[in-house]
Amino acid sequence: MNALPELIAQGLRADIVDEHCYANPHWFFSRTTRFDGYPRTGPKVFFSEFAAHGGRGVEVVTGSHAPGEYAKYADLAIEFGLFASRGSDFHSPQESRTDLGALPDLPGRLTPVWEALHDRIQRS
């Protein structure tokens, strides 16, 4: 039984709807175009899927994001328990909003991806 239509009929709304089955990890990969029609203004569905399938980190600060988007992606990283990184690549002046090497640091409330590797780093 699918309860989602019943909830919608009752006028209930949710910020996010988790539509996939956790029992079969190939479900998401076999439906690569399923989410193409989802609104691109609501990234929670993508962060949810990424985290549910084992994603551990997300790039928060990039040359293609506007400064206002840094906070948005930082909030999503925190909400979904993801590590954060900042872009280190530069594709072209037309794509990037900042000069090469001029990206700001990660917002301090985030856990950087390199901390996930802390116990793997060998020190001499």
Give the closest residue to 35 by CA, choosing from 47, 21, 24, 45: 45
Q: What is the mean pLDDT of the chain?
A: 76
More confident residue, 51 or 11: 51
Give the chain's length.
124
Whole-number pLDDT of residue 83: 94
Whole-number pLDDT of residue 40: 59
β partners of residue 57: 83
Mean pLDDT to the nearest integer, 17-29: 61
pTM exceeding 0.85: no
For the beta carbon of residue 68, count every other beta carbon within 10 angstroms: 7
Statement: residue 32 has pLDDT above 50: yes
β partners of residue 84: 58, 112
Hey, CA dihedral for 18, 21, 24, 28, is it positive or negative? negative
**Domains along the chain?**
16-120 (3.20.20.140)
Assigned token pair, 69: 């988007």
Whole-number pLDDT of residue 49: 83
Whole-number pLDDT of residue 6: 59
Q: Which residues of 69-95 are buried (b: 16+ CB within 10 A; e: fewer)?
A: ebeebbebbeeeebbbbbbeebeeeee
Tens of pLDDT, residues 56-86: 999 998 877 888 889 999 999 999 999 999 8
Whole-number pLDDT of residue 79: 93
